Amino acid sequence: MQKRGPVWSRHGIEEQGLATTGTVYWNLPPAWAYEEAVKRGEAAISADGALICHTGEFTGRSPNDKFVVEEPGSQSQVWWGKVNKPIAPAAFDRLFDKARTHLAGKDLFVFDGYAGADPRYRLPVRVITESAWQSLFAANMFVREADPAKLADFRPGFVVLDAMNAKADPAADGTRTSTFILLHLAKNMVLIGGTQYAGEIKKSVFTVMNYVLPGKGILPMHCSANYGQDRDDVALFFGLSGTGKTTLSADPERTLIGDDEHAWSDDGIFNIEGGCYAKVIRLSKEGEPDIWEASHRFGTILENVEFGPESRKLDLDSTRFTENTRSSYPITHLRNSDPAGVSGHPRDVVFLTCDAFGVLPPLSRLAGPQAMYHFLSGYTAKVAGTERGVTEPSATFSPCFGGPFLPRHPGVYAEMLGRKLEQHGARVWLLNTGWTGGPYGVGARMKLGLTRRLVHAALSGELEKAPTRPDPIFGLAIPGDVSGVPGTVLRPWESWSDRAAYDASAAKLARMFADNFKQYESGVSAAIRAAGPKI
């Protein structure tokens, strides 16, 4: 096979059992990746220099098509069930052969880099794709290796093989559909096919880190992170997609560490990624200037964003292809970021929820048992476009605010978080970025400016000794007064025009919390069990 690129590893793709009669492009710089993507009809270039790509049928993740290979080395440690569905090693081998055959005559693109900004704990990752733009996506999202000598000797610790146009035969291959995302922990490989959505690459590597890091005593977390005056003034923002992790962590008064995936070691926090993957639907320059500017730059990839065919100007308000329009860019595209991706221990931990019922207060402080209760519950609402079939917000509980990416039992991560919170004395907050004044369809979504004001009040210490009052059902400690925030918003039952309707909705949500938490009751303390809402 012919090899091209600035530098390629002596540990070639042959070590992954791959061969092709085409050309293998290694570690292409952005300009070269652009040229290949445009030449191959994969993408167009926007008026501002971003690369615009369309992901075809799939504009979000396909969690129901993800499987974990059931093999002796990891079988006892995997949290089997709806999230981690087992598939036989023989099925993986069949699909790997199918992918290998599919790729045999094609040009391939290889990115070698790392998951993990801290060199002591990072995982060497190789991403092999059949499209140039997905290779650039990997370069944007993971930590790049700048040393040519290290790239020439790069040996991957984990491989993502993305054969996006290869399709499974469900009857023969044991999959649900023609799409497949297979994690083989013994072979250190993720195999993807039947979907062009690049987010599968990103989240597959995160899933791997969620398996690997706890074995080293390190807590992986689905959260964004930033710091204030110094690297010891750290805040974490946990939450599922659409709850505000990226938006709220991109604070002009604080320095961004990363927008989505981090780990907490005995030394502090480090970013798992090297870039950001922001939702850009209805993105405004006034509301989110940093993300807006990053999304209008060379080197950025825009997924499923509409643009003028003649002007090449972006239409970020369009939902023609999906609500889940995305922008992938290296963290260095943000002026107020720390590319080193390493900091001290957090002072504040914020759990983000997008409450579609309009019941939870916009900000409340959680005591120790409450923090564990809400971490295991992971309540939010899935928002349109994040996953296939989700067209409007719907209530969901995702343990650790990242259930789809947890290969181990949620209790493993909760126990680790509880120890670290106690050890370092971090304050814990619950922040509702969802609805106020009524449920979805009646009330209004929390205004971003109001949410930012509440975050500032929490992180600055302004509320450290402020009086609070308990939520009547959920027992949450609600600040009695926050300058610039109406009291009726702080106390959601006062924002509804019909108090009886609020009480009914709150009782309904409380029952949902209680029903969901039954699966964890036998494995937690009485104090944690008692920290839930009162029905």
CB atoms within 10 A of CB 76: 6
Read off the tokens for 310.
């003649």
Interatomic CA distance for residues 73 and 279, integer angstroms: 37
Interatomic CA distance for residues 422 and 345, integer angstroms: 12
Residue in 212, 279, 235 with CA at minimum distance from that of residue 452? 235
Residue with tokens 């989505």: 260
User: Looking at the annotation, which residues are catalytic?
Assistant: 61, 203, 222, 241, 245-246, 260, 326
Interatomic CA distance for residues 378 and 328, integer angstroms: 26
Read off the tokens for 86.
């087992």
Q: Which residues contact 153 (CB under 8 A, 6 or more apart)?
A: 9, 10, 11
CA distances from 32 to 140, 196, 390 (A): 14, 21, 36
Interatomic CA distance for residues 353 and 413, integer angstroms: 19
Write phi, then psi, for 64 (nearest 5 degrees): -75, -10
SS (H, E, C) 81-126: CCCEEEECHHHHHHHHHHHHHHHCCCCEEEEEEEECCCCCCCEEEE
